[in-house]
Structure 1
Amino acid sequence: MLTETIRKDWTPDEIGAIYNRPLMQLIYDAATVHRQWHDPERIQVCTLLSIKTGGCPEDCAYCGQAARYQTGINVKALMRKDDVVAIARRAREGGSSRFCMAAAWREVKDNRDFDRVLDMVTEVAALGLEVCCTLGMLTETQAAKLKAAGLYAYNHNLDSSAEYYEQIISTRTYTDRLNTVDHVRKAGISVCCGGIIGLGETRENRMQMLHTLATMPEHPESVPVNALARVQGTPLGDRSKIDTWEMVRMIATARIIMPAAMIRLSAGRMEMSEYEQAFCFMAGANSIFTNENGELLVTPNPGMGEDRGMMERLGLKALVSGEVNA
């Protein structure tokens, strides 16, 4: 199966037909598209750091950083710039080409903390890394300031489909999320936008979310596919682990309908075997998050050493900063 052009007019029925193909055929088709658009031996290694942890006023049912849930996660104030830059430098030395800074805020406010984040962006960008932030909702003016500071990418996930969204979050709307993505795009910042599966949604909901992503005016340059990382104390803390084959289907379908995007195998890897992760890479995933302390924000994640070992065994090599994976 060849995908020679980037389409933004996918219909729900077309996406459903791809998603529901026999699994082996779907993986083969996605791997074919992946090899057409990307080097299958290269993946982007990204480091994600929580620069401000916990105390968030939102009610996202999956999130251990929401202040209203008793999750045992300690609230931590915004980190010092020098500490963040030191971690970014070690991430670069460990093979990461993108460094993402996350703050548990509902929205960015024009205050001293935002000024400190802008300084962090400038300092980390000076290391030669792609700098990414995920800080909550942004205005157009704030997005422009981040761009001027040297921000390369901004992450703002849709989480789920518009049809299921209100079952997960009530403190902001789906339109709020889409507006932030639009502000990021208008500022000339690379868009990182995906979602989570295993929230109790249906397959139809998953396909609806993919349809929203694939019919944006421009596809996100990065599409994280997350499996719910269950946190005790949250409303979704007792849900069953999502079947890995559903992750493979999501990744494969995303690869086919958004062929140029980096498809990021994100949360949930700690509960996946190396064999399961290998199927995800075969199906078109070409990016992962890693961290020196074995955490993805506040949930367990393979550490840099584990990921280096896996990549070596699978014959995968890390992209270096500025390298195009094609």
Structure 2
Amino acid sequence: MTAIRNNWTREEIAAIYNKPVLELIYQAASVHREFHDPQEVQVCTLLSVKTGGCPEDCAYCPQAARYHTEVKVQKLMEVNEVIEKALEAKESGSTRFCMGAAWREVRDNRDFDKVIEMVKGVNSMGLEVCCTLGMLTPEQAQKLKDAGLYAYNHNLDTSEEYYDDIITTRTYKDRLDTLSHVRKANISVCSGGIIGMGEQEDDRIGMLLTLATLPEHPESVPVNALVPVEGTPLEDQPKVSVWEMVRMIATARITMPRTMVRLSAGRVRMNLEEQALCFMAGANSIFAGDKLLTTPNPGYIKDQEMFQQLQLTPRKAHKEVVA
């Protein structure tokens, strides 16, 4: 039986990450089967409820106000519009609905009150409701929990060492503090990062080390491949190979066995066989729908075809990991 550990060392994680790739996939697939049904994949939908105009300088993000991208600034959506979108997502097979707002942090104002109403509405539909709204205070996290929030996403993005090359408008500690507030409010933690931003392999290992040595592992770890957007500082970054994604997913699966590992951004540039390799390596969650906030994603029809081809079944909402 694989033990759940929070005392991984950098050397141990590097040794896993750098294994011969077929051996790595085999080990990850074995751990995956201990804790999860390998035919089951969680289907999540991500909706941008407030788009663009963000004051931060995340180098990958087309929603930063300082970059000249094609993203048009849109104010916070109305509650009834969001509920309609959640219903569409549920009817298309999603069991988790995530709402993203391009804010640096949550402010206690009418917009936050509206988000609370959105959370209540989506929760009442039986969906796992998730938000990604930037930094949170402990009080705000508790308000979201009381409204029925199931999960909160706040990505680390990269390693602590490389972080300042990507973002200067908030610190790594700020991110870890938000994760701590979410955990203390008894909300499920969703936190991962992006590869392909010019980081070294050691930075990828460093990010996994931070996640795998948190007091409790995140319940969900999204692994994103950068989708370069014209107008951002990272617009010319080369495409990440499937083998780099496989190494990240497999290492996350081995070091955090209970965690849902999400094959996230960048999936639109992967064919069926490449996605199948990622599922074999331990990914068991995807974002569905033709957009991830503002970047393209495979459509529902394409995903339904993939599920049929690979004989995958959508994971039910609110299902706990048994082992």
- Aligned twin of 1:243: 241
> Is 2:293 the counterpart of 1:264?
no
Give the TM-score of the pair, scaled to structure 2. 0.99
- Aligned twin of 1:23: 21
How many angstroms does 1:313 deviate by? 0.3
> 1:202-255 CA distances to partner (integer Å, 9 max, x unpaired)?
000000000000000000000000000111100001110011100000000000
Distance 2:316 2:279 in 1: 18
Distance 2:321 2:292 in 1: 24
Distance 1:146 1:36 in 2: 33
How many angstroms does 1:163 deviate by? 0.4
> Is 2:316 the counterpart of 1:320?
yes
| 1:3-152 matched pairs, under 5 angstroms | 3=2, 5-152=3-150
How many angstroms does 1:94 deviate by? 1.1
How many angstroms does 1:303 deviate by? 1.2
8 A contact 1:39–1:325 mirrored in 2: no
> Is 2:242 the counterpart of 1:216?
no
- Aligned twin of 1:170: 168
Give the partner amino acid of 1:96.
S
Distance 2:7 2:317 in 1: 32
8 A contact 1:42–1:325 mirrored in 2: no
SS in 2 for 1:263: strand
The structure 1 segments of at least 4 consecutive aligned residues displaced by more than 4 Å after TM superposition are: none
- Aligned twin of 2:301: 305
Distance 1:71 1:170 in 2: 20
Distance 2:80 2:119 in 1: 12
SS in 2 for 1:101: strand
Q: Which stretches in structure 2 are left out of the alignment for 5+ residues?
A: none
- Aligned twin of 1:207: 205
> 1:260-308 CA distances to partner (integer Å, 9 max, x unpaired)?
00000000001111110000000000000012xx111100101111111
Distance 2:49 2:301 in 1: 22
- Aligned twin of 2:191: 193
How many angstroms does 1:72 deviate by? 1.2
How many angstroms does 1:183 deviate by? 0.4
Give the partner amino acid of 1:305.
I
8 A contact 2:258–2:321 mirrored in 1: no
How many angstroms does 1:322 deviate by? 2.7
Distance 2:80 2:315 in 1: 26
- Aligned twin of 1:230: 228
Q: Which stretches in structure 1 are left out of the alignment for 5+ residues?
A: none
8 A contact 1:319–1:325 mirrored in 2: no
Distance 1:156 1:321 in 2: 21
Q: What is the alpha-carbon root mean square deviation over aligned residues?
A: 0.8
How many angstroms does 1:323 deviate by? 3.0
Distance 2:37 2:110 in 1: 42
Distance 1:247 1:325 in 2: 24
Distance 2:267 2:98 in 1: 18
- Aligned twin of 2:177: 179
Distance 1:103 1:289 in 2: 17
How many angstroms does 1:325 deviate by? 5.3
> 1:138-182 CA distances to partner (integer Å, 9 max, x unpaired)?
000000000000000000000000000000000000000000000
